[in-house]
Amino acid sequence: MAESAKITRRRLLRQAAGVAGAWAAAPYFVPSRALGAADAPPASERVTIGLIGCGGRGSGVFQGMIAAGGQPLAFADAWKNRREGWAQRTGGVAYADFREMLARDDLDAVCVASTDCWHVHHTVAAARAGKDVYCEKPLSVALGEDCLCREVVRRYDRMFQYGTQQRSSAHCRFGCELVRSGKIGEVREILVVAPDSSPGGSGAPQPVPEGLDYDMWLGPAPWRPYCGQATGGDGWWHDYDYAIGFIAGWGAHPLDILVWGYDTHLAGNWEVEGTASIPQTGRNNVVMKWDVDIRFANGVKMKFRPGGDYTEFIGTEGWVGISRGGIKADPPSLLESKLGPDDVHLVDSRNHGGNFLEAVKTRRDPVSNIEDAVHSDTVSHISDIAIRCGRKIVWDPTREEIVGDEQASRMLRRAWRQPWRI
């Protein structure tokens, strides 16, 4: 339920002016233009935004969107203190139930930064309500959800920005442009490296903390007694009911660079084999130390390993390696290349949140669109399934099906706990 009366934009700004003292001591800075300062564009020209999932990551991303000109209106979270903290700091409205928040007709867009098992549910609910969506990565906990998400986002022609902010770094874009422009020749091999998951956690039941709507926090995930999993990102990032681990959660970044530089979905069927260890003690139970090999039908080979954050494209005439921190190449002179009008030029974004808000206004796709989000998340899911099945999986990226393996195909979806659906 909404925890304060429905308010207009004008009233919101008046209220906001009166809460300066409250947010002065807050951990997240809210720029004055978000609160209607004199030099800000009029409220009617600003994109009004809401946040679903007001934890650390969501707060960081949302703050960036406010700094880029977004007008914060509404906050939904299963944790009372989180949603009310944001509402207090901005003069917005806190919602225990995101559906009530999405029913507001004065909300243009939402940032989804909830638990991974909620991402598609929140995104789809927002799209059905006519909102544009910035969605944190990874996209889902089952690949079938990705396809449903894409279907609904396409249906309503909603702007969708995936939270793979490395696309808004100039060196990442340049590296992918080099690859797509053929500066390393024909791509032969690809290496993708992402930080590993963690063991640990306890599955021992404990009392539900005050201020947490545990049933809402669980959402579509299977019920089990509370065991501390909702207390922070690390509490659920590596728990298979809520996420599939860093093979997707962190893997989304270097895998996003992969699909930005190379069309894995056009490379023919994939043969995917992999091994990993899965912790048998503690709460965490996602794949660790994964070692995945993918062979595309066009002959290109890919290795996916845990480690740092890195995507390397090896071509017939050189290679390019891209990470969040920088870019390297061989020959090094590749990095001095000047791309001409006949080369491939990717979308130039310097601010991921800002790029999304721009898309909301212009109705032109942002830099990290839904198609690429599905493509990169596919690598994570198919790798995870191959590991868990302990055998080679063949993935048909055109039909988006696992070929000839009924048992593995079952893992493409999970039934949602009632009443949730996508």
Partner 1 sequence: MFTRMNGIVCLTMALLLGCVASIATADEALDKAFEALKTYKWGQDRATLGAIDAAVVASHKDDAAKKDLEAKLVAVLKSDAPQAAKDFVCRKLSLIGSAASVPALAALLPDEKLSHMGRYALERMPCDEAVAAMRDGMGKVKGLVKVGVINSLGVRRDAASTAALVGLLEDSDPQIAGAAAAALGAIGSPDAAKALGAYQAKAPKELKLAAADAYLACAERLLADGKANEAKMIYMTLAKPDQPKHVRLAATRGLLAAAGQK
Query: Given the rule CB under 8 A, which residues bind partner 1?
Result: 128-130, 151, 155-158, 202-205, 222-225, 227, 280-281, 285, 388-391, 406-407, 410-411, 413-421
β-sheet with 393-396: strand ranges across: 326-330, 318-323, 310-315, 187-194, 301-306, 288-296, 270-277, 393-396, 401-402
Task: Output 158 or 183, the one with its CB closest to partner 1.
Answer: 158
Task: Output 278 or 346, the one with its CB closest to partner 1.
Answer: 278
Task: Output 231 or 407, the one with its CB closest to partner 1.
Answer: 407
Task: Output 32 or 281, the one with its CB closest to partner 1.
Answer: 281
- Location of structure tokens 């507001």: 104
User: Are the C-beta atoms of 124 and 152 separated by less than 8 Å?
Assistant: yes
**Phi and psi dihedrals of 54, rounded to 5?**
-100, 30
Least gap, CB of 240 to partner 1 (angstroms): 10
Least gap, CB of 248 to partner 1 (angstroms): 19
Closest CA to 334 of 186, 191, 175: 175
Task: Output 38 or 204, the one with its CB closest to partner 1.
Answer: 204
CA pair distance 122, 31, nearest whole angstrom: 27
**Phi and psi dihedrals of 2, rounded to 5?**
-60, 140
Least gap, CB of 276 to partner 1 (angstroms): 13
Least gap, CB of 308 to partner 1 (angstroms): 30
Least gap, CB of 156 to partner 1 (angstroms): 5
CA pair distance 309, 306, nearest whole angstrom: 9
Residue 352, CA atoms < 13 Å, CB-side half-sphere: 23
Task: Output 10 or 154, the one with its CB closest to partner 1.
Answer: 154
Least gap, CB of 49 to partner 1 (angstroms): 17
Kindly calculate the radius of gyration of the chain based on its CA atoms and give it in whole angstroms. Answer: 22
CA pair distance 328, 77, nearest whole angstrom: 41
